[in-house]
């Protein structure tokens, strides 16, 4: 593995021997870190948004699962 900082980027070179799924999980985590790096939201606020969105999803899709 080679890690380089080039200008304002970090370049990571990984051996093809590493399973693609593992690399994808790492990339997903880095995308999350990048997207939330400047967030000022508190965990309690995020938890509330998640709970509200799940409630809304269930209301819209309940009939698909409960007959």
| DSSP code for 7 | T
Q: Read off the pTM.
A: 0.56
SS3 5: strand
pLDDT at 3: 95
| Nearest partner of 15 among 3, 25, 29, judged by Cα | 3
pLDDT at 48: 93
Per-residue tens of pLDDT for the chain, all 67 residues = 999 999 999 999 999 999 999 999 999 999 999 998 999 999 999 999 999 888 888 888 888 888 7
Q: CA-to-CA distance for 6 and 64, rounded, in angstroms?
A: 50
SS3 17: coil
pLDDT at 57: 87
pLDDT at 56: 86
């Amino acid at each position: 593995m080679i890690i380089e900082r080039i200008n304002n980027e970090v370049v990571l070179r990984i051996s093809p021997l590493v399973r693609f799924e593992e690399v994808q999980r790492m990339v997903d985590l880095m995308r999350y870190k990048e997207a939330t790096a400047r967030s000022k939201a508190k965990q309690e606020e995020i938890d509330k948004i998640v709970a509200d969105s799940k409630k809304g999803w269930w209301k819209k899709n309940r009939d698909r699962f409960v007959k």
